Amino acid sequence: MPGIRSNILFMSGYVPGEQPRDGEYIKLNTNESPYPPSPRVFDAIRETLTSNRLRKYPEPMGDTFRQAASKLLGVSPNQILIGNGSDDILTILTRTFVPEGGLIASPAPSYILYRSLAELQGARFQTVPFTTDWQLPDPWPIANADLTFLANPNSPSGTVVDPASVFRLASRIGTPFVLDEAYADFAESNGLKNVGEGNVVITRTLSKSYALAGIRFGFAVGPEPLIREMLKVKDSYNCDVLSLAAATAAIQDQDYLHETRRKILATRSRLSASLAELGFEVTPSQSNFVWARRNDQAVKPMYEALKARKILIRYMNYPNYGDGLRVSVGSDDEIDLFLKELKNILND
């Protein structure tokens, strides 16, 4: 068709997890928090609405957020870039660093969006399989990649690669290296203290641990020379006043974050143990979801039977790897119901 870039014409487009109407399903498919955001978020949004700020443009760089994040994370505000969700940050990274015909690399299986970003950019995408215990492939990273993505914790596995060794390996190549830490708040380690000089940009989101998936806010932390170039690429006003107010309030309530994290980790242990008892091979998770596989029977029918019973989880099938079920850590009641229905399905 004339006028359409061929890479767009030939790509199928990223398909996000199903988002059914409210209340229709118990939703354990896209790793949202089962808990509400901090009460301070509601206060901040209310304050923004009543102070007549909607008629004005937001802060273009999100300086109020950057100041607050800078204090919390111990980096300079100039090392922080705000985004309309961390997916927006991943797009900005691609547009800043990957030429048409260039190369994006990522270990696999991992976040499916990385391939779509390569396709959108007209770039090639190269994956190298993780080791069987979800450690980095060797050799890694790929020397001629223009941009490398590593989700850490990874999805769907929920596993973590030691951040210090990631930084060591990343320093072997000259091009930017993205450490996608969407789930870092649920993990035992993260790369923040290593960020500064060098070529690693960390991305974070408020969608998961801060229970703000509906607000769309994420950010990058990286070396100033890289962040400076990325600033040129982002839309002038890529975050609105409500999301900026909500995000700033959310990160200023660390007690609340720790409390929800504690609850989610407790439920995660229970979910993992119960799935193992039911005969699943469960990968030890450092995220707010659990990856479960089995080799004695097919898992896709289980996903379908659960869906028929109004419980939505994620069925994933990866080329050259295989399939499994990814279950978000919901509330205790949701997980109890999920386990009860799964037992019924297995006994049918």
Dig out the tokens for 57 from the structure.
Answer: 């443009």
User: Which of 182, 202, 215, 316 touches ligand PLP (CB under 6 A)?
Assistant: 182
Does residue 288 touch ligand PLP according to CB under 6 A? no
DSSP state letter for 34: S
Residue 1 DSSP SS3: coil
For the chain, the first-to-last Cα distance in angstroms comes to: 51
Options 207, 238, 252, 272; binder of ligand PLP; rule CB under 6 A: 207
Q: Retrieve residue 148's tokens.
A: 């490398």
> How wide is the angle at C-alpha 29 spanned by C-alphas 25 and 32, nearest 5°?
95
Q: For ligand PLP, which is the closer residue by CB, 111 or 177? A: 111
| 151 contributes a contact to ligand PLP by CB under 6 A | yes
86 binding ligand PLP? (CB under 6 A): yes
If you compute the radius of gyration of the chain from its CA atoms, what whole number of angstroms results?
A: 20
If the CB atoms of residues 208 and 342 are measured against ligand PLP, the closer one turns out to be: 208
Per CB under 6 A, the list member of 33, 94, 155, 252 interacting with ligand PLP is 155
Nearer to ligand PLP, 121 or 203 (CB): 203
Q: Which stretch binds ligand PLP (CB under 6 A): 42-50, 82-90, 187-195, 226-234?
A: 82-90
6-14, 79-87, 117-125, 276-284 -> range binding ligand PLP (CB under 6 A): 79-87
- The yes or no reply on residue 324 touching ligand PLP (CB under 6 A) is no
Q: What sign does the dihedral 288-290-291-297 (CA atoms) show? A: negative
Q: Binding to ligand PLP by residue 87, rule CB under 6 A?
A: yes
The yes or no reply on residue 111 touching ligand PLP (CB under 6 A) is: yes
Q: How far is the CB of 134 from ligand PLP (least distance, A)?
A: 14
Query: Which C-beta is closer to ligand PLP: that of 141 or that of 341?
Result: 141
| Dihedral over alpha carbons 136, 172, 78, 190 (to 10 degrees) | 30
* Cα-based distances in Å from 204 to 33, 128, 181, 192, 199: 15, 24, 5, 10, 17
Choice between 86 and 252, CB closer to ligand PLP: 86
Is residue 205 a contact residue for ligand PLP (CB under 6 A)? yes
Residues 6 or more apart whose Cβ sits within 8 Å of residue 122 = 5, 7, 100, 101
Question: What is the contact mask toward ligand PLP in residues 208 to 227, using x (rule: CB under 6 A)?
Answer: -----x----x---------
Residue 302: helix, strand or coil by DSSP? helix
Helix (H, G, I), strand (E, B) or coil at 63: helix
Q: How far is the CB of 347 from ligand PLP (least distance, A)?
A: 33
Q: Minimum CB separation from ligand PLP for residue 206, in Å?
A: 7
Core vs surface per residue 26-44: b (16+ CB within 10 A) or e: bbbbbbbbbeebbebbeeb
| # residues contacting ligand PLP (CB under 6 A) | 12
Query: Which window, 9-17, 18-26, 85-93, 224-232, contacts ligand PLP (CB under 6 A)?
Result: 85-93
What is the nearest approach in angstroms of ligand PLP to the Cβ of residue 57?
22
Q: Contact between 252 and ligand PLP (CB under 6 A)?
A: no
Vertex 72 angle, CA 209 and 265, to 5°: 30
Is residue 116 involved in binding ligand PLP (CB under 6 A)?
no
Please give the distance of CA 48 from its chain centroid, rounded to a whole number: 27
The strand pairing partners of 201, in sequence order, are: 178
Question: Shortest gap between Cβ of 213 and ligand PLP (angstroms)?
Answer: 6
Single out the residue of 268, 198, 212 nearest to residue 240, CA to CA: 212
Q: Which of 37, 58, 62, 85 binds ligand PLP (CB under 6 A)?
A: 85
| Residues engaged in binding ligand PLP (CB under 6 A) | 85-87, 111, 151, 155, 180, 182, 205, 207, 213, 218
